[in-house]
Amino acid sequence: MPPNTPPLNPHKWVENHADYLFSFAFTRLNDEELARDLVQDTFFAALKRMDAFEGKSTERTWLTAILKYKIIDCYRKRSSDLKVSLREVNEPVFFEEEGHWTVEQRPTAFGIETDARINEKEFNNVLQGCMQKLPPLWLSVFTMKHVDEELTDTICAELKISASNFWVIIHRAKVNLRACLQKNWL
């Protein structure tokens, strides 16, 4: 550890970091129980690896990095448990063969013509509900791409999917989220 680095204080981890780590995990997994379990697993793993802490980051950053790897492991497990072909998912047909929207699925205007601020908390609740409706693999891909801002190559490698499969999943996830938001938000 570098000379001016404060020592790790595991006795204060729950008090100082549990809420932040839980929020971090819950935002990515949409599962309170799993988020709690992963935070506990993170603390346990950190206790076992305290000697590996080099002091190049803050205690919270180090714990968050451990948690991030645990979340990626969950994504991997979800994707390996879900060996369903994308064609097997029962979803509406959004496009005609020429690539145009079907009349029934054509997106409608969001209807925000004024400059009024959207109630972010209410919107986030609806968005979280819509995300919960996505198949687990789609949720993992969407979250890694748009919440964690991971690179496509990283996501493909971590979840063991092809690049073309990634783009199909991300497209379908966005289309489904948009349809859900249009139905439930506006």
On the question of pLDDT at 23 being above 80, the answer is yes
The crossing angle, in degrees rounded to 10, of helices 136-146 and 120-132 is 140
In sequence order, the β-bridge partners of residue 101 are 95
Grade residue 22 by pLDDT with cuts at 50, 70 and 90. very high
In sequence order, the β-bridge partners of residue 95 are 101
State mean pLDDT over 159-181: 89
CA distance 141 to 161: 10
User: What domains lie within the chain, and their CATH numbers?
Assistant: 10-81 (1.10.1740), 86-184 (1.10.10.10)
What's the length of the chain?
186
- Model pTM? 0.56
Q: DSSP per residue over 53-67, as a string?
A: --SSS-HHHHHHHHH
Residue 101: φ, ψ to 5°: -60, 145
CA distance 5 to 54: 9
Grade residue 118 by pLDDT with cuts at 50, 70 and 90. low
Grade residue 53 by pLDDT with cuts at 50, 70 and 90. confident
Average pLDDT, the chain: 80
On the question of pLDDT at 40 being above 90, the answer is yes
pLDDT at 129: 87
pLDDT at 116: 45
132-147 pLDDT tens trace? 888 888 888 998 898 8
68-112 pLDDT tens trace? 889 888 887 776 655 444 444 555 666 666 666 677 766 666 555
